[in-house]
Amino acid sequence: MGWREAPAASSRVPSRSSSPLARVAMQIPRAPSGAVPPRLLLLVLLLAPAIAWAHERWVPNQPRFPINRAFFQSMSGEVLVYSLGASLAIFGVVVLWYLFAPGLVDALTPVTLAAQAREARRPFLSRAARRTVRFLLDGPAEGAFMKRGLVVATFVFSRVPVFVLGLGALQGWLVMPSYPLPDSELGTVLRVVEVILAVWVASGLFYPLLGGLMLLVYVYLCAGYGIAGIDAIPVLASAFFYLFHEQSGEVNEKQLIGMRLSLGVGFFLLGLINKIYLAELFIGVGDQHPALLIGPQSMFPGLTREAWSFTTALGEMVFGLLLLFGVFNRISTMILSFVFGNFILVFGVAEVVHVYPIAGFVLLFFRGSIGTSLDGLVFRANVRLWSLLRGRSARLLYRSAVTLVAGLAASTLMFLPLLLITEVVPALDGTAVSARYHAPPPAPPASSWPPVDAPTIPLVGAPTPHADHQPRHGGVVTMSGDLHVELVVAPSGGVFVYLSDAVRTPIAPAEASGSIEIERPGEKTTLPLRPEPSGSLAVAGPPPTKPASYRYRLKVRGNSLDMSLAVPAGGTSALPPAAGGGK
């Protein structure tokens, strides 16, 4: 909000009163500088992929135990309680920001000479506490620390792509490890492009043109790597930073809006998509790094991996919205910087590229209090209520406007996306679990898991992680996620696909669908698989008189499985025993 007095927008708006609450009502900016332009919002939403993976893709993410996918596909039980809690959190934060924070900052800020004299007479600890609260509530802070910090943060964020691009060119990925470069001429060209961009960034020249090129880089990442595009949100933030750069070098309003929109939407999607819609990724990371789960489970006994993933997602979504709104800016950016910094400590140097988003959060920390995205909504709601409810007190109208905006923000920006991602999206894209789905037993506490690199040890009272990989129908067993696929190619040409879960419990053919692609030199045939009473998906293919590649493309319990297998002449029965099913 900027904590500044603004002129009234209408003759019907009350004049300044000596009442603190009336003064709060007058602190709504008439032309909110932090409002997000609709066109810019549309641009980011179009560029941000509809489905997103994040950094969990490129750290070990193999689940140890079956995952209860039904948990994430119903707005009921724990999911409903958690979702309502997160929505109420957004509602409460917005209300606190507009109804209480301005008055508190006003009371803690000595403006007149007499107030400054009284402040100077207070004990040191009292003054320090008052300054800290004022600072954390985004109150005025024009000291040397903030000015110098802004200069340093601006320089670091403007140059941090040099490090990221250079490291990518050296290690063979584009901008982020999520985007490995192909081992081809295109990969070589992209390495050269990274070097050129790194040198350009370091030069500090022609930043607006560089911003346009960074936008193209982000579009390429989304087009070339599909649903992994969310991991490149810092690239989009840099693109807006460069695109709106001015000769003065000072961070301007357009740059901040673009950064706040990019990082806020990106962090929101990171939780919504990566930890709810694609929860296997995050849960798999937790399975490979039990320390991530041991702490929460020690504080909340009985916490399942599914609930841990969902609540973590809600935390990220809440902070993403706070970052987008601009409310409690300093607190939010401090916490987010700590979260991303902790990734580096937990996962090691593989996560060092997180200095990129951290640099963005730090810049917003030092230069973020120019108004919030909700200021305009609050102002217009207040004026509309004033015109409709003449004669009511300014205090009542302002509180009503804030409550209305807070309710709309909580319901449309938090609860509605959660409802869609749990109830609607799985039904639309075919990933919904079937009515016959039986949830697997919950995994044991993470503190009882054996080390990741230790031999598989059965745990008392829990399913054995991934059981065995031995063929049970004379075929070849492969795994995708925590699912087993056994492919049988009979000498007659019949193709049979048997499915089982992580502990080798058979999966009914009705819970799966897909096709088999048979490729021989100069010939490729795609055949649809159909459920058989024998418990397999099957199709009559050509006799395997010659070696061929059999590629299955399956949709099993909402999971996409895709793998190719080389089958010799005679079918899978011609394979030696080790090839037919050893680990």
Residue 288: per-residue pLDDT? 83
Q: What's the whole-model pTM score?
A: 0.68
How confident is the model at residue 26, as a pLDDT?
43
Average pLDDT (308-320) is 94
Which of 32-46, 79-93, 414-428 shows the lowest mean pLDDT across its residues? 32-46
Task: Give the residue-averaged pLDDT of 460-475.
Answer: 61
Between 517 and 577, where is the model more confident? 517
Q: Give the pLDDT band of residue 12 (cuts 50, 70, 90).
A: very low
Residue 53 has pLDDT above 70, yes or no: no
pLDDT at 319 over 90: yes
Q: What is the mean pLDDT of residues 200-222?
A: 91
Over residues 99-107, mean pLDDT: 90
Q: Say if residue 368's pLDDT is above 80.
A: no
pLDDT above 70: residue 293: yes
> How high is the pLDDT of residue 420?
96
Task: Give pLDDT, residue 411.
Answer: 96
Are 45 and 227 contacting, i.e. CB atoms less than 8 angstroms apart? no
How far, in Å, CA of 424 to CA of 131, rounded? 47
Beta-sheet strand order (sheet of 537-540): 476-480, 483-489, 494-500, 537-540, 530-531
If one compares 392 and 168, the residue with the highest pLDDT of the two is 168
pLDDT band at 239 (very low <50, low <70, confident <90, very high): very high
Confidence of residue 431 (pLDDT cuts 50, 70, 90): confident
Q: What token pair was written down for 105?
A: 């900052």
Q: Do residues 7 and 16 touch, judged by C-beta distance below 8 A?
A: no
Each residue of 25-60: b (16+ CB within 10 Å) or e? bbbbbeebebbbeeeeeebbeebbbebbbbbbbbbe
What is the average per-residue pLDDT within 463-473? 63
What is the per-residue pLDDT for 452?
A: 60
pLDDT, tens only, 371-414: 688 888 999 998 898 888 877 888 899 999 999 999 999 999 99
Q: Which of 115, 93, 73, 95 is nearest to 24 (CA)?
A: 95
Homologous superfamily of domain range 476-574: Periplasmic metal-binding protein Tp34-type (2.60.40.2480)
Average pLDDT, the chain: 81
- Structure confidence at residue 45 (pLDDT): 46
Mean pLDDT of 459-464: 41
Rg (CA), the chain: 28
* % of the chain surpassing 70 pLDDT: 82
Residue 58: the pLDDT is: 44
The pLDDT value given to residue 2: 38
Task: Write down the pLDDT at residue 290.
Answer: 86
In the three-class reduction of DSSP (H, G, I as helix; E, B as strand; rest coil), residue 239 is classed as helix
How sure is the predictor about 468, in pLDDT bands with cuts at 50, 70 and 90? Answer: low
Residue 96 scores a pLDDT above 90: yes
State the pLDDT confidence band at 516, using cuts at 50, 70 and 90.
very high
Give domain limits for the chain: 43-60+140-373, 476-574
- In this prediction, residue 203 carries a pLDDT of 93
Exposed/middle/buried for residue 2 (C-beta within 10 Å: 0-12, 13-18, 19+): middle
Does residue 54 have a pLDDT over 70? Answer: no
Interatomic CA distance for residues 432 and 422, integer angstroms: 9
Region 10-35 average pLDDT: 38
Q: What is the mean pLDDT of residues 251-278?
A: 88
> Which pLDDT value is given to residue 61?
67
